Structure 1
Amino acid sequence: MRRVIVLRPEPGAGRTAQAVARLGLEAVVHPLFAPQALEWTLPPAEDFDALLMTSAHAARLAGPALAAYRGLPAYAVGSATAAAMRAQGFDGVSAGDADASTIAARIATEGHRTVLHLAGTTVAPMATGSLHVRRIAVYSMTSLPPDPALLDDATPGSVLLVHSPRAGERLAEQVAPTARAALHIVAISPNALAACGSGWASGHAPDQPGDDDMLALLRGLCE
């Protein structure tokens, strides 16, 4: 059975591990980061005509202040982010499965102009077009100490799932080039794949960033 190493933070790591198990593969979770809530200043809700979140962590970690924006049209990138927003009391969340630029274009098309984007300290590039976007960081990703068990569990033939460029960089720091030749990478994007460095047995990234697209590549690699 092919072993799959899931490197993303919880709770997403658990969801991905369950999906990997449904493919008949062995999943081992080794998060490289953990999300941490930040203090943030609450801008008036009336200054905005839409709310955007591109990460489920933002919805979970923004805190009680998030309730002030429930009256705004709400947009999310990805079903997990939309579900986390609904769990915080947002009704009618509009979700997109592509990237942030795509949902930004949709927000503009639906007539909104001033958008509050609650996010992490590190975000993927987003083309805002005609939108005026105010981005506020409500969480950060804290690097976890290197875990020696990661190298022990990454047996020859294992596939490592990399969900961000930062994760790729951390992985490259922890796995020496001489230890990469028998390990495969499936990354969420070409940028994340490039951050992993060279020397791996193979490297793959989907055309569109998403867990399902990564799992499709994983399934093809393991057949």
Structure 2
Amino acid sequence: MIRPVAVLRPEPGNAATVARVRDAGLSGIALPLFEIEPVDWSPPAPDRFDGLLLTSANALRQGGVGLAALHALPVLAVGAATAAAARDHGFAVERIGERDVRSMLADVAPVRRLLWLAGEHRTRIDHPSIAQTLTLYRAAPRRCDHAALAPLAGSVALIHSTRAAQQLLTAIDAAGMARGTIRLVAISDKAAHAAGPGWEAVAVSRAPTDPALIDAARALAIDP
């Protein structure tokens, strides 16, 4: 028996992950638990900063016309997808972090003055180089009834964030579904912990990337 793999992240990342799941020879289910929406913001004077910190391409997709005022600032991007989106929006990319924002900033000089263009729900990062943080977008929970969630039974669900774990837990319990019919693969120990107990099985990805998540999902999806 091969279980389907459910992708819970919002679009457009959802479609990209589902495609990777299918390229890996598994069956993918698109079930986004959130929708990305813009937040009103105004760009600060760019001469107050010497770089932009971007941890998600959503800041660029949702940033609107205000981004043009910041084009002179080089970008420090977490992930190749974020870097590619920055280039597509006319920014020069100075550095790409392959794992997460903390590891990328580990050797960034504290005298840097970075403007972080972020989402409303984010992990707190204390680093002397982050001079200001602006919220450009939010991930709003989608309403998912029992019928929408039904395909999760017997699946392996990919958990891309702590908040996704919490939202899945809330949605499943509200729909009266049994957690024990679902296996989880979490992007981190923290995300796995946030999902709570009672799932059929829980695994943690070896790295916070789609390929690593899908590798871990394969082990849970294919029953002997």
Same fold (TM over 0.5): yes
Can you give the 5+ residue segments of structure 2 that lack an aligned partner in the other structure? none
Can you list the C-alpha shifts for 1:141-160, whole angstroms capped at 9, x where unaligned? Answer: 1111123234321232x100
Q: In structure 2, how many angstroms separate the alpha carbons of the residues matched to 1:178 and 1:14?
A: 25
Rounded Cα–Cα distance in structure 2 between residues aligned with 1:2 and 1:36: 32
Provide the C-alpha distance between the structure 1 equivalents of 2:64 and 2:172, rounded to a whole number of angstroms.
Answer: 36
2:161 maps to 1:164: yes
- TM-score w.r.t. the length of structure 2 is 0.91
Shift of 1:105: 2.3
- State the one-letter code of the partner of 2:171: Q
Match of 1:142 among 140, 143, 163: 140
Give RMSD over aligned pairs.
Answer: 1.8
1:208 is displaced (CA, Å) by 3.2
Alpha-carbon spacing, 1:106–1:74, altered in 2? closer, same or farther (3 Å) = farther
Deviation at 1:124, TM superposition (A): 1.8
For structure 1, which segment, 131-140 or 174-183, has the greater mean C-alpha deviation from structure 2 after superposition?
Answer: 174-183
Q: In structure 2, what residue type is equivalent to 1:151?
A: L
Q: 1:178 to 1:27 in 2, by over 3 A?
A: closer
Q: Percent identity?
A: 37
List alignment gaps of at least 5 residues for structure 1: none
SS at match of 1:46: helix
Q: CA deviation at 1:56?
A: 0.9
Tell me the secondary structure at the aligned position of residue 157 of structure 2.
strand
* TM-score normalized by the length of structure 1: 0.91
4+ residue runs of structure 1 moved beyond 3 angstroms?
none
Aligned length, in residue pairs: 219
Deviations 1:167-188 (A, max 9, x none): 1111111223861213110111
Task: Report the Cα distance in structure 2 between the residues aligned to 1:75 and 1:64, rounded to whole angstroms.
Answer: 20
Q: Secondary structure at the match of 1:107?
A: coil
Q: Which residue of 2 aligns with 1:59?
A: 60
- Pair 190,75 (structure 1): closer, same or farther in 2 beyond 3 Å: same
Aligned position for 2:211: 212
- Residue 196 of structure 1 and its aligned partner are, at CA, apart by 1.1
